[in-house]
C-alpha cells in the first residue's frame, strides 16, 4: 500500500467516525443508516457503502 492509499483510508475513517456523536443517523424512512468501507486493494480503491448502496470510491 502506498502513502496515498493510507491517507485516503484514514481520512474516510475519520470522516465516518466524526459523524457518530451518540445520535443515530436516520434515513428518510426513519431507519438507521449503516456505513461500510470496502478495501479493494487489487483495484487500488476503497468503496464507501452507505445503507447498502455505493456512496463513493477513493482511488
Q: Where does 10-52 show beta strands of DSSP type E?
A: 35-40, 45-50
Q: Check residue 27 and give its pLDDT.
A: 64
Residue 15 has pLDDT above 80, yes or no: no
Residue 22, pLDDT score? 52
What is the model's pLDDT at position 20?
56
Contact assessment for residue 24 and residue 35, using Cβ atoms and an 8 Å cutoff = no
Note the pLDDT tens digit of each residue in 22-53: 555 666 667 788 889 999 989 999 999 988 89
pLDDT at 12: 78
Q: Write down the pLDDT at residue 47.
A: 92
Amino acid at each position: 500500500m502506498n502513502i496515498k492509499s493510507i491517507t485516503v483510508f484514514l481520512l474516510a475513517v475519520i470522516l465516518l467516525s466524526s459523524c457518530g456523536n451518540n445520535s443515530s443517523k436516520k434515513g428518510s424512512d426513519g431507519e438507521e443508516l449503516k456505513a461500510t468501507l470496502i478495501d479493494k486493494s487489487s483495484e487500488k480503491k476503497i468503496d464507501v457503502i452507505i445503507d447498502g448502496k455505493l456512496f463513493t470510491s477513493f482511488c
